[in-house]
Each structure stands twice: as structure tokens, then as C-alpha cells.
Amino acid sequence: MLRQILRTTYTAMAFYAFATGAFAQTYPSKPITILCGQPAGSGPDIMARIFAEVMTQNMGQRVLVSNRTGSGGLIAAQAAAQSTPDGYTLLLVLSGAHTAVPAMQSVPYEPVKDFEFISMLYASSGVLMVNAANPAKTIGEFIANARAKNDGLKFGSPAIGSPAHLMGALFGEATKLTVTNVGYRGGGQILTDLIGGLLDFTFTSSVQALPQISQGKVRPLAVAGPARLKQLPDTPTLQEAGFGQVAIESWFGMAAPKGTSPDIIARLNAEIVKAAKDPTILRRAEEDSVDLRAGPPAEIMKVLVEEYDRLGSAVKRLQIKAE
């Protein structure tokens, strides 16, 4: 009886391996959709669409981006986790949705177990910015002026638990200033309100920050990444300014629903690594000071675990809760 069960099991496994292998050979046979938890025009959306365009050219099949905004990427992550694991629905992994957000609230997916992680895509340094009319020229002057006024500071972020939100909260903790987060659905409106004087400061990705800085509408005070940006050689890092504990690097990756064929994951990984070497993406990464990090799945898993521990600890210490 046992021998018959084993024979049946091995036959089923062999058929599954054959079926998935054959499926992978014809993949993709229809458009692929990448779910993005940030709105159109945001930094992550812009880079996702550039990768999608290059992958479309290389794979001979359309790769589309669909924006599923809200809850710091939770809505997009949930939709991806519940999708059929056939390689046609992917997720643009927003670091917060898999690290900080699960530490703040119960989420309808397992941040690690419900996904097959394909590759890192890139990392982007946040830039601490103020309105160009603000008298502060350095982070030290900004803090001194805020203490002198003693009426608190307002900052904007695209979602509770996003790197921008956590850095704002950590900035308040490190400086012992009273800071209040103003939530938005995307970075575009945050910059509009910063320029309009409705916000005191914000941390914004270099992708969105650099155009506004070049136009003289905002002033950079510090960079959250490990090194100064080529385009902002005179702007120190938070580490250099004495606030290294505030810095959080925004990183983004690609994942598929749990159960997606290993052959398809391998194919997608190879396509992402190839796309990251395309002149179009290399040029855009240079312009926006984006650090391309496409590589094996093990790399994104390592970063995910490290960030989950660090940011989860910060969320609990600061008593950050989902609104």
C-alpha cells in the first residue's frame, strides 16, 4: 500500500515538474502586470514603468504597471499575495509594506511567507528638504530655529510606516522636537505643500527631489543615504551631520505570489538583471542618483530580514500605530 502511495506521489511530482517546466518555456504568453502601491508619477512608479518598458522590449510581451495605492503599499501587497501564482501578476516591493507596516498593524498577508522574492531593483536616498524661503541653510540652523520658535514642526509623508514617515518621526526623537506627520497619497502633493509653505520639512526620494532643487523651489539640508549625491556635493549625509540614527534607505524590489514556479522566478530574475544593464535605465539611475541593485533573490531576502528587525523595533519604540 505504502509503495503504491509513493509511486502515485512520485508520478504526481514528476508531472508537476514537467508541467511547470513546459509552462515556463512558453512564458510569457500574455501581458504581465506589476502592482505598484504608490500613485502614478511617484518615484517608485516612475522607475517601475521604466523597468517595465525595457522588459517589454526584451521579453517580446507587454509588461504593465497598475497602481493600487493606499495603506503604505498594503493594498497592492494584499492583491499580489492573493493573485494566481502564474507569473503574470508581480509586486513592486515597497520596503515599508514588508517591514514597518506589519509591525504597526495586523496585515492580510505574511510579509515573507506569502511571496516569492525575485530581485532587488534599486535603492533611493531620501533628501531632507525645506522651503527655499526658509532661512536655515544647514540642518543645525533648522533645528536651532525650530527650538527658538518652540511651536512644533509639520512634515509630510506618503503613508504611515513609509521611510519618509519613519525618518520624520526619528528626526523628532533625535532632536527632541515636536513633529507632526501630515499624511498624503503621494510625493507630488507633499512637494507642492512644502513649496507652498504648508509644511516645515519633508524627506523625499532623490527621484522627486532633484528636479525641485534644481529649480530653486526647495533647499536640501541632508541626504539619508550612505554617501553624498553626485548632484548635491555640498549637502552632507545625515551621518555626517550627526544624525545617522535617523537615516533609512528606501529600497524597492520585485516579488511574485507564493507558489510561482521556480523556473518563472529564475526567468524574471534574469530579465530584471538584464534590464538593469540597459542604457535607458543606467542613464535614468545616473540622473536621479538611484543605486541599481538587481541581483539574486537571496540579496533581497537578506535586506528584508535586516530591515524588518530594525524598523520593527523603531515602530514599537516610537509607538507608531496605523491610522
Tell me what the mean pLDDT of segment 260-275 comes to. 98
Do 142 and 215 lie in one domain? The reply is yes
Do 198 and 259 lie in one domain? The reply is no
Asked whether the predicted pLDDT for residue 271 surpasses 50, the reply is yes
Q: Is there a contact between 158 and 67 (Cβ–Cβ < 8 Å)?
A: no
Tell me what the mean pLDDT of segment 95-115 comes to. 88
∠159-163-167 over CA atoms, to 5°? 110
In a domain? residue 39: yes
Specify the higher pLDDT residue, 26 or 55.
Answer: 55
Give me the CATH number covering residue 225.
Answer: 3.40.190.10
Tell me what the mean pLDDT of segment 178-192 comes to. 88
Domain endpoint, select from 246, 267, 294: 246
Confidence of residue 8 (pLDDT cuts 50, 70, 90): very low
Asked whether the predicted pLDDT for residue 14 surpasses 80, the reply is no
**315 vs 166: CA distance, rounded Å:** 8
What is the total count of domains within the chain? 2
Most confident of 157-161, 192-196, 311-315: 192-196
Confidence of residue 257 (pLDDT cuts 50, 70, 90): very high
**48 vs 154: CA distance, rounded Å:** 30
What strands lie across the sheet with 250-257, from one edge to the other?
63-67, 32-36, 89-94, 250-257, 115-124, 290-292
Do 7 and 120 lie in one domain? The reply is yes
Q: What is the pLDDT of residue 100?
A: 86
Do 56 and 193 lie in one domain? The reply is no
Specify the higher pLDDT residue, 72 or 166.
Answer: 166
Asked whether the predicted pLDDT for residue 11 surpasses 60, the reply is no
Do 106 and 56 lie in one domain? The reply is yes
**61 vs 229: CA distance, rounded Å:** 36
Strand partners, 251: 123
Range of the domain at 162: 126-246
Closest CA to 179 of 209, 158, 200, 207: 200
Question: 277: part of which helix (H) or strand (E)?
Answer: none
Q: What is the pLDDT of residues 112-140, one digit of tens each?
A: 899 999 999 999 889 999 999 999 999 99
Do 144 and 286 lie in one domain? The reply is no
In a domain? residue 171: yes
In a domain? residue 314: yes
Do 133 and 234 lie in one domain? The reply is yes
Q: What is the pLDDT of residue 2?
A: 30
Strand partners, 222: 128
Do 292 and 199 lie in one domain? The reply is no
Of 3-7, 41-45, 61-65, give the lowest mean pLDDT range: 3-7
Domain endpoint, select from 221, 246, 271: 246
Q: In whole numbers, what is the pLDDT of the chain averaged over residues?
A: 89
Q: What is the pLDDT of residues 198-256, one digit of tens each?
A: 999 999 988 889 999 999 999 999 999 899 999 999 999 999 999 999 999 889 999 99
pTM: 0.80
Do 172 and 286 lie in one domain? The reply is no
Confidence of residue 28 (pLDDT cuts 50, 70, 90): very high
Do 9 and 117 lie in one domain? The reply is yes
Domain endpoint, select from 194, 215, 246: 246
Confidence of residue 24 (pLDDT cuts 50, 70, 90): low
Cα-Cα-Cα-Cα torsion 272, 277, 278, 280, nearest 10 degrees, comes to: 100
Backbone angles phi, psi at 260, to 5 degrees: -65, 140
Confidence of residue 20 (pLDDT cuts 50, 70, 90): very low
Q: Cell digits for 279?
A: 542604457
Pairing of strands 63-67, 32-36: parallel
In a domain? residue 149: yes
Task: Determine what percent of the chain is predicted with pLDDT higher than 70.
Answer: 92
Give me the CATH number covering residue 272.
Answer: 3.40.190.150
In a domain? residue 323: no
Of 49-63, 96-110, 144-158, 221-235, give the lowest mean pLDDT range: 96-110
Q: How far is CA 74 from CA 78, 98, 291, 315, in A?
A: 6, 9, 25, 16
